[in-house]
Chain A
Amino acid sequence: MRLQGVVRYHRARDTEEALSLLAGYEGRGALLAGGVDVARSPRRDVEGLIDIAGAGLSHVKLTERGGLLLGATVTLTELVESRVAAQYCGGVLVETLSLFSAAPLRNMATLGGAVVSAHPWADVPTLLVALGAELRWTDGMERKGSLEGVYAGAFRELFRNAVLTEVRLPPCDGGFAFYKLRRSAADVAMLNAACGLGVAQGRIAWARIALGATPTRGRRLPWLEELVQGEVPGAELWEEVAAQVRAKLDTGDDRRATGEWRRKAAGPLVARALAQAVERAR
């Protein structure tokens, strides 16, 4: 890797400096923290690299109500090793991230990078969407919005002129589980699922179900959430879930798997994640 067109490498001390540098490059600048994705897919038009790893965005904090505040440049390793993050939601965040690739990449990759790059096969978007993450960013003004909402819009355009500063995870009062199917243990997902639910009086009170690498980026399945809400969790329901997913899920081919397989395998995957989430909710 050698980004040939790069003429300067800046280390921004804060988001304000990062933004002003970014503006100066008029689209030919790129923000980086770990730098993994910038280096992996070298844009030939980049002239300025703006490193925000030192911009004070690497905090990991629990809120009083049990939510989690995560700085955008916190590395995946920092999260995996964080006692604070481990306390959140039964450890589902740490569990998910430790399934990602291998240590040398987790040492480099950042949470913000995973959110902004939003690879179709990535695990982080699927999990964060299911958890109901909220983003904070600045484009001169401090802004916020749900991750789902951001992904629904032109977010790549958005983050070309803005700095993602924080990911906020709401207090978690149910059980969450993350599952992925991959060809090989160090592989990226062929399919991933994050499911959360609350159980009251033996029935599913609420559910959040996200599926990713379909092959598109992780997104929620509201119709499935509705379907399970109010139902009694158990083998019968999971069979119904699997059948419905198979009937309704929109999938496609990529280099890793076929759409046909994804449609068949997604049902059992979601069912397993739900079953485990029930265990954790109880």
Chain B
Amino acid sequence: MKIQLELNGDPHYVDIEPGESLLSLVRRLGAWSVRSGCDVGDCGSCTVLLNGRPVRSCITFAAKAQGGSVTTVEALGTPQALHPLQEAFLEAGAVQCGYCTPGMVLVAYDLLTRVDDPSADHVLRAIAGNLCRCTGYRKIVEAVRLAARRKAEGRWR
């Protein structure tokens, strides 16, 4: 079947299998940042924003994206021009192996879209569904709060 969607601002009109996952689709379309960690929605490394909200793409049917917009980390920054949130992740030491990072960045982005000055507790709860096995989360929380301060200073996009 064919669906129409926007991926990181680019329109696509693509063939999908009716039972295909959104994870499979976005990787086919080149969004390699979206990664499979468990394939049943438990780990969060496949998180994407669907119509502005984080969802787990491995258990979201690709057909659900019909007429909608999908955002992945590819839309935020590039290695040469990082998004302030991505800068904060690097500065705080929130990236170790980096496998969970794109999903983590997206839930943090979603939080900072909704909340200007999240407390540590707020951040902990927002990222609770995204598993990281490397960091112990402390530096991820620091990164998100650092990014919130940058946002308050008007350094955001």
Contact = CB atoms under 8 A, between A and B. Distances in A.
Interface residues of B, number: 33
Contact of A77 (B39, B53, B58): B53
Interface string B42-84: 0010010010011110111101101000000000000000000
A239 B127 CA distance: 38
A1 interface: yes
Interface of B is mostly: mixed
Contacts of B19: 2-6, 9, 46, 49
B63 A51 contact: yes
Contact of B17 (A6, A39, A40, A51): A6
Nearest to A3: B19
Q: B50, B59, B64, B127 — which one has the most chain A CB atoms within 10 A of its CB?
A: B59
B107 A186 contact: no
Contact of A2 (B17, B63, B66): B17
A28 to B, nearest CB: 13
Contacts of A49: 18-19, 61, 63
Contacts of A7: 18
Contacts of B134: none
Interface in A162-189: 185-186
A258 interface: no
Nearest to A37: B59
A103 B54 contact: yes
Interface in B6-32: 17-21, 23-24
Contacts of B39: 1
Interface in A1-46: 1-9, 11, 32, 35-36, 39-40, 46
Interface of A: 1-9, 11, 32, 35-36, 39-40, 46, 49, 51, 53, 77, 101-105, 107-108, 185-186
7 contacts: A1-B23, A39-B58, A102-B125, A102-B129, A105-B56, A107-B50, A107-B54
